[in-house]
Amino acid sequence: MILGRIAVIGALAACLAPCAEAPSSGTSMLFDFESEAALDRLNWHCGALYSLSPDHATHGARSLKMEVFPSPYPGFDPLHGTEDWRGYDELGFDVFNPAARAIRIGLRIDDKKKPPLYEDRFNRSVELNPGANHVTIPLSSLVTSDGKRRLDLAHIRKFQLFIPYPAQSTTLYIDAVALARNSR
Amino acid sequence: MKTKARYAWWALGVALPLLLTVLYGVLIEPYRIQVHHVWINDPLLQKMIGTRVVVQLSDLHINALGKREQQVLDMVDALGPDMIFLTGDYVSWKGDAEPALVFLSRLHAKLGIWAVMGDYDYSRSRTSCLFCHDETRRGRTQRHTVHFLRNSEETIRLTGGVLTIRGLDGPAEQEPFFQTAARRRDSGPVFILSHSPLSFDHISDDRNALIMAGDTHGGQVALPKWVFSLLGYRKNNLYNEGLFEKKMKKMYVSRGVGTSHAPVRIGSRPEIVVYHFST
């Protein structure tokens, strides 16, 4: 009787151990912008204002309305502490550009605690067409700008989406910032 | 019985002074605010500032407008300041900014009040906007007249020249804008406000700069440097409190007014700094 119970507990533990390491679903929603709490989680900087908007939501009822003003690198900088992105294949997010012209944005991803130099982090420029855009970054492409190493996906410290030196006030709508696994 | 009595007396002999010290550290010293007059030898600043009253406040860590905060306001008012410089940490960690904003609204100085933010002020970054902006975060705040300098500067014309006042903004200590602001060359004297005293190392030795800093609280408890080093508090190990000079640059690290981590000060009285400049 006792041995039987021990066996059951052992079997459950054996099942839970590997399960604890792998993501339980194909997508991990990092930011969805459905409540005020999402705004409190953002790193607020001078040059950008954030609010929840019912417009251009691609997941749930609301999106993040981001207004940036002429300043060095205003944008969206949501991470605190360290994130573990292992077990996923891509980072994706939706951006709606309400302007009649394309807007070029910068993406920056760091894996160092002390802010690294440009060469020692991932940097990419993305052009947002007018209207809806879905941006996908394969995690296998997260290599430092000097090409010397891959980012440590277990220790992602910063994910920043910004507009470099905007000449005028610019608005973007962001939603569904998520990590995803490709279907196998 | 004799052994038990001896142990009891021994325990009392150790425990009682310890208890009294802790009680002093919690109930008395945090309210023994000192006006600390600091003399800086600088003929150019002496000519420009003259007898004007220059005050620095730091690390207020305000939870509510209580006895200590009112005491500070009364003491600063009594000094009749011409310029007030604030070096950050106005709130407790993730605390409410409202009492600090009210405190700032009650500060008055004839020529102006300039300030930088501290790391605690950014602990709720959305709230940190309210130090400079109104509730909409679009317009400038009308709550107080403090000029917050975030890797930016202002100049003020005084007798004999122009004084530059520059604010260095953390937590971006390693970011390029901080470095640009720290390394900018000035033709005249400059007051640099920095929450962290570690900024001293980023400023050229041949700058005629007076850096006003805080952050360390003087350790809150007077301990030898090696203890801070062991605990990993680099800023306390290097620049715990007081005046530091290297060639032309000078830095004064204030012990501040409030407390953090533990509401105790022992051998590290809270201070309001008043600067005097001599030839």
- pLDDT tens, residue by residue, B33-89: 999 999 999 999 999 999 999 999 999 999 999 999 999 999 999 999 999 999 999
Q: Is A137 helix (H, G, I), strand (E, B) or coil?
A: strand
- Quick one: closest CA in B to A49, which residue? B137
CB contact under 8 A, B138 and A43: no
Q: Note whether residue A10 is domain-resident.
A: no
* B124 interfaces chain A, CB cutoff of 8 Å: yes
* Segment B164-212, tens digit of pLDDT: 999 998 654 445 566 666 666 667 889 999 999 999 998 888 888 999 9
A–B interface: beta-carbon pairs under 8 A: 20
* Segment A23-79, tens digit of pLDDT: 446 899 999 999 999 998 898 888 899 999 999 999 999 999 999 999 888 999 887
Q: Note whether residue A142 is domain-resident.
A: yes
CB contact under 8 A, B126 and A39: yes
Tokens standing for residue A30: 């990092």
CB contact under 8 A, B126 and A44: yes
* Segment B83-118, tens digit of pLDDT: 999 999 999 999 999 999 999 999 999 999 999 999
* Segment A132-153, tens digit of pLDDT: 999 999 999 999 999 999 999 9
* B198 interfaces chain A, CB cutoff of 8 Å: no
Chain A CB contacts of B125 under 8 Å are 42-45
* Structural domains of chain B ordered from first start: 32-278 (3.60.21)
Q: Note whether residue A113 is domain-resident.
A: yes
Q: Above 80 in pLDDT, residue A80?
A: no
Report the domain count for chain A: 1
CB contact under 8 A, B129 and A72: no
Q: Note whether residue A141 is domain-resident.
A: yes
Residue B264: band (very low, low, confident or very high) from pLDDT cuts 50, 70, 90: very high
Q: Note whether residue A20 is domain-resident.
A: no
Q: Note whether residue A78 is domain-resident.
A: yes
Whichever domain contains A152, its CATH number is 2.60.120.260
Minimum distance, in Å, between the CA of residue A26 and any CA atom of chain B? 32
Range(s) of the domain holding residue A88 = 26-180
Measured over the CA atoms of residue B174, residue B178, residue B182 and residue B185, the dihedral's sign is: positive
Q: Note whether residue A6 is domain-resident.
A: no
Q: Note whether residue A35 is domain-resident.
A: yes
Average pLDDT over residues A82-96: 95
Q: Above 50 in pLDDT, residue B266?
A: yes
Chain A CB contacts of B150 under 8 Å are 46
